[in-house]
Structures are given as C-alpha cells and as structure tokens.
C-alpha cells in the first residue's frame, strides 16, 4: 500500500540533526517501524471490511467502495493541514496526535455497529484515516532526517518493508476476527431473522477495532514518553522567490497522474479480491477463506520490495517501472479472460509487480526539481486521492458489466504507468 508522505524537511534534503548520537537514531528508527506496520495493517484491513459491510448492509459494489472513498479521501483533505500542524507542534507530537486520532476512529466503530448505520462506519473510517494521514506526514520525513542524508532512502525503504508486513498480516487478522466471527454468529439463526443477523454481523467488527484502538493508544503513550532526537521541522532549505512553481515541470505533472492511477489501481484490485475469489467460476471460496488469500497479494508486494531494494541499484528506474507495469497488464488480462485457479493466481501475483511502482514513480517525478522538490512532493501526495476515486469507478463497472470484466479498468492505469516509465518521466 502507498505509504510515502513527505514534508519539506525530507524533500529538501534537510541536514541530519546533531542533538543525539547514532544510538539515539537507531532507537528512534526502531520505534518508528511500529508505526509503519500499524498504518499498513489498518489500511489493508479495508479489503476485509468492504465485503463484510457489503453483506451487512446489502450494498452494491459501488456503495461498498465508499469505504475506500472515505479512507483515501482523507489523504487529499488532511495532508496539507497536517503538514502545517506538524510544523507547529514537532514531529514527535504530530505522531502522538495522529495515533490518538486513529484510536478515536477505531473506537467509533462501536457506535457504528450498535446503530447499524453505514454512514457512521464511513465517518469512523474518515476519522481513522485522518489520524493515519497525520501520522504519515510526521513519521516519513522524521525517518529521513534520523541520520546521514545519503542513507535516507535506505532507511525509508526499510521502514516501508514493515508497512508491507502489516498489509500482509491484516487479511489474516480480518478473516479470523471479522469474517469468521460473523459467520459463527449467524450460523444458527433462521433466515427470517434478518435484523438479528445484521446486528450480529455488524457487531463482529467491535472487538477487532477496539483492540486496534487500544494498540494505537498504547503507542501514543509510548511515543509521548520517549525521548526522541530533536529535529527542526523545516519547510524548505531554499525558499522559492522567483514566482514559479513545481507545476512547470512536465515530468512531475505526469508523475502525479501516475501516482493517482497507481494507487487507484492497487486499491481497486485489493478491494475486490475477497468478492472475486468468492465467485463460483473463480475459486468458490467463502469470504473468510478468500481473505487468507489476499495476504498473498500484499505479501508479494512485500517480497518484491525487498528484491527491488537491491535490484534497483543495477537497473534503469524507468525501464524497471515499465517492465513491472507490462507484467501487471499481462496478469490482469489473464485474470479477465480465464477462470478457476488461473484467474485466481494471476490476480494475486500482481502484488509482486506493484512493489516498486510507488517509490519509483515518486522519485522519477521529483528528479531535478531542486528548490521546488518540497512543493512537488506535496503535489504527488495529493494524487494519492486516486485510491478514493478509482475503486468507485471499478465498483460501478462491476455493477454494470460484472466483477470479472471490471478488472479491465486497472489495465488502463498500468498502461499509463508503462508509458511514464518509458517516456513520460524524462525531464524536458
């Protein structure tokens, strides 16, 4: 899942802080990895929440995709205010506040389940995502300045691996505590007791999200108590005084489109996996069984990230991006025009090729921006809103032409990414 949100200090290449030694940096970095794990975990849990709420509220595919719309919409709305807030209260307290807000969002799942209102679930998701956004705005640039600038990318890649670990484990957690719990809770009820069934299924989310709320609050308390290396939150090393902006760079603008389409494609595919694998002509799995297989999709991204961290030192970034996009297209076409195990494993394998796309597009788009790098980074982060909009489009397609053919939508996204890797990333 996309997990790089930056502020000026990272983008401008802020110098490493001098208040603490290497030991302090290592300890702080170790603590920060838990945050990357948690927001990867909570984001990927949406893939389990979507089919669950679809059943609870008898939603169509478009309505169920409002889960991602509210979650990723928070990135678009909250990112800039969060950046301004972090400048005022510091990285550390931005992290603490983000964790508290995320805990509140998780806790709001309890009244949402009790009142059985889909709109309350969506509101809870927006609050939760607002906390995660603030968390990312504070934590990502903090990682980059905890040490020498020339190893910043390496540190961020390491923490991103823990983000991927969270996305890999979340489907298993959701399958066990949400989908399985809902099935057990309703097994012995008569069909006519629809209201009781829906209440039991809605209540299945209470315990898991309260556990997550407790985890976020525990982390907030720990980070509030920790003595982390102090870092000044800088906007930009070089202020922009020439009246120009990052928008003048064609490869940045095209890169923003690439981020929009990539995040939208990845989120769309992940969001539909449980329902897709449950189809009789694909795998015919129960939702709880299908949820376990979603871990293969996100696990592939984790493995690919480790491979890419090494391989990308020796291959051209643009060509690697285009090659991975072409592989994703081939797998999607195989998914659409096949059934059974072939369709199932081809769609799950896409995760492996997604792995390097986000950081590669991000870095190519920022290449050569100089003092406009911070502004360019903000533009790219706003483009993450693709994760809110494109799943809605795929949901509408699924309602119109069927869930199988709806997977043609991400094909167009990856085609653009291949173009960006081959030609669009080149500075003019």
Structure tokens at 168: 């890999």
Count CA atoms within 13 Å of residue 27 on its CB side: 11
What percent of the chain is modeled with pLDDT above 70?
A: 82
Distance, in Å, from the CA atom of 13 to the CA atom of 7, rounded to the nearest integer, reads 10
Determine the average pLDDT of the residues in 230-240. 50
**pLDDT for 7:** 47
**pLDDT for 309:** 75
The whole-angstrom distance between residue 336's C-alpha and the CA centroid of its chain comes to 24
Q: How many CB atoms lie within 10 A of CB 66?
A: 22
Write the pLDDT tens digit of every residue in 89-116: 888 899 999 999 999 999 999 999 999 8
Contact 143, 26 (CB under 8 A): no
Write the pLDDT tens digit of every residue in 351-365: 999 988 988 898 899
Distance, in Å, from the CA atom of 233 to the CA atom of 228, rounded to the nearest integer, reads 14
Distance, in Å, from the CA atom of 210 to the CA atom of 328, rounded to the nearest integer, reads 37
Write the pLDDT tens digit of every residue in 288-316: 899 999 999 999 988 888 888 788 778 88
Domains of the chain: 8-236+245-424 (1.20.1250.20)
């Amino acid at each position: 899942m996309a997990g790089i949100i930056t502020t000026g200090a990272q983008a401008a290449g802020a110098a490493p802080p001098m208040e603490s030694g290497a030991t302090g940096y290592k300890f702080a970095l170790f603590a920060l990895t838990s945050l990357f794990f948690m927001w990867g975990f909570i984001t990927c849990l949406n893939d389990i929440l979507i089919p669950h709420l679809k059943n609870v509220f008898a939603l169509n595919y478009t309505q169920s995709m409002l889960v991602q719309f509210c979650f990723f919409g928070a990135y678009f709305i909250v990112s800039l205010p969060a950046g301004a807030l972090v400048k005022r209260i510091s990285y550390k307290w931005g992290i603490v506040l983000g964790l508290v807000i995320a805990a509140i969002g998780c806790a709001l799942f309890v009244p949402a389940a009790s009142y059985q209102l889909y709109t309350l679930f969506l509101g809870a998701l927006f609050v939760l995502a607002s906390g995660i956004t603030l968390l990312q705005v504070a934590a990502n640039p903090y990682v980059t300045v905890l040490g020498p600038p020339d190893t910043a990318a390496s540190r961020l890649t390491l923490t991103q691996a823990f983000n991927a670990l969270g996305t890999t484990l979340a489907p298993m957690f959701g399958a066990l505590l949400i989908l399985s719990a809902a099935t057990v809770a309703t097994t012995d009820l008569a069909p006519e007791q629809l209201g009781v069934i829906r209440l039991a299924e809605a209540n299945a989310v209470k315990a898991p999200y309260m556990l997550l709320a407790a985890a976020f609050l525990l982390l907030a308390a720990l980070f509030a108590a920790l003595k982390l290396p102090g870092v000044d939150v800088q906007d930009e090393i070089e202020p922009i005084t020439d009246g120009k902006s990052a928008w003048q760079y064609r490869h940045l603008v095209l890169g923003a489109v690439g981020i929009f389409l990539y995040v939208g494609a990845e989120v769309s595919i992940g969001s539909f996996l449980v329902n897709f694998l449950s189809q009789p002509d694909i795998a015919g799995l129960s939702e709880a069984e299908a949820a376990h297989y979603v871990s293969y999709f996100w696990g592939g991204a984790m493995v690919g990230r480790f491979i890419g961290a090494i391989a990308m030192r020796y291959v051209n970034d643009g060509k690697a991006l285009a090659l991975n996009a072409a592989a994703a297209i081939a797998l999607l076409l195989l998914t659409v025009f096949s059934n059974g195990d072939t369709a199932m494993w081809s769609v799950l394998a896409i995760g492996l090729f997604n792995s390097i796309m986000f950081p590669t597009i991000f870095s190519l788009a920022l290449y050569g921006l100089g003092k406009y790098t911070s502004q360019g980074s903000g533009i790219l982060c706003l483009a993450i809103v693709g994760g809110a909009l494109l799943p809605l489009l795929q949901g509408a397609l699924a309602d119109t032409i069927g869930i199988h053919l709806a997977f043609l939508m991400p094909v167009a996204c990856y085609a653009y990414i291949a173009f960006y890797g081959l030609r669009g990333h080149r500075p003019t």
